[in-house]
Amino acid sequence: MAIMTVASPWIRPYDPILINVGPILSPPSAQFPLGTNHLGQDMLSRVYSGGAIMFQVAVLSVIVCLVVGVPIGLFASYLGGYTDKVASLVMDSIYAFPGLVLAIAIAAMLGPGVVNMALSIAVVYVPSYFRIIRSQVLTIKELPYVEAATIMGAKSRTTLFRYILPNVIPSIVAVATINFADAVLTSAGLTFVGLGLPVSTPDWGWDLTYGRRLLPSGAWWVIAFPGLMVVLLALGFTMMGEGLSELFNPRLQK
């Protein structure tokens, strides 16, 4: 599992933006290993920096989800009653919308930018966190060890944070990694559609858009490499998630 945790994150792209102006649409060669696109930009640098952007978006959206979704999920299901009913209603309504459509709608409203993209993805994803946490909390709440905490005289806050939350973490990790992977795909989708980031910012989504148009002319490298990167990044995050959840499981520490 350690191997998985190390090998998967493709966190390389922190190079500064290098947009060389080189020969237009040249296939992969020694000087430009991944070729150039119709604007003469180096594909390799675009892939690198595009990756950086992707990563930022994904991380940001996960953070927003954690900060917003987890507390709502925890408190709503622990307190029950009206809090729970209202929260569930809100979350279910958001959940009812198909993800990408909602993301597009919100991105269109907010306008382009890394932060706004992250926010629109986060909004789409928060209900998933909520649901998973809620079902976990409801189950754990009834377990004897929570009853034990009460009988020892624990305050509600203590019970929630020291007895319930630690046991909910594995599922949070599971959702977070799917979130990462999905965020990558959604953000690529958003820029592919034309929303999300301004043209000047290097991004795999743009590359995919142009790549699609350029494909008939035989320039396969413009779409292939970014596309491959999207898949690999998503896959990498998923595997990292599996590694992380094994790490968190004390039962496997023997």
Partner 1 sequence: MDNLLTVTNLKKYFPVEKGFLDRLLTSQKSFVHAVDDVSFSVNRGDILGLVGESGSGKSTTGRLCLKLIEPTTGSIMFEGVDLAKLHGEDLRRFRKNMQLIFQDPMSSLSPRIRVGDAVKHALSFQGVGTASEQTERTRAILERVGLKPWSNFYDRYPHQLSGGQRQRVVIARALVLNPKFVVADEPIAMVDVSVRAQILELMLELKKEFDLTYLFITHDLAMANYVCHSIAIMYLGKIVEAGSKEDVFGRPLHPYTLALLSSIPVPDPKAKLQRIIPKGEIPSPINPPKGCRFHPRCPYAQNICSEREPQLEEIKPQRYAACFFPRHI
The C-alpha atoms of residue 105 and residue 99 are separated, in whole angstroms, by: 10
Integer CA distances (angstroms), 9 to 3, 92, 159, 218, 233, in order: 11, 32, 35, 32, 7
> Which 158-197 residues touch partner 1, going by CB under 8 A?
158, 162-163, 166-167
The C-alpha atoms of residue 224 and residue 234 are separated, in whole angstroms, by: 16
85 contributes a contact to partner 1 by CB under 8 A? no
Mask for 56-75, x = binds partner 1 (CB under 8 A): --------------------
The C-alpha atoms of residue 38 and residue 35 are separated, in whole angstroms, by: 10
213 contributes a contact to partner 1 by CB under 8 A? no
Helix pair 43-79, 114-141: axis angle to 10 deg: 40
78 contributes a contact to partner 1 by CB under 8 A? no
138 contributes a contact to partner 1 by CB under 8 A? no
254 contributes a contact to partner 1 by CB under 8 A? yes
By CB under 8 A, name the one of 58, 149, 181, 244 that touches partner 1: 149
- Considering only 2-10, 41-49, 139-147, 225-233, which stretch makes contact with partner 1 by CB under 8 A? 139-147
151 contributes a contact to partner 1 by CB under 8 A? yes
The C-alpha atoms of residue 36 and residue 28 are separated, in whole angstroms, by: 7
Q: Which is nearer to partner 1, 132 or 146 (CB)?
A: 146
How many CA within 13 A on the CB side of residue 73?
Answer: 28
The residues of the shown chain that bind partner 1, judged by CB under 8 A, are 143-145, 147-155, 158, 162-163, 166-167, 250-251, 253-254
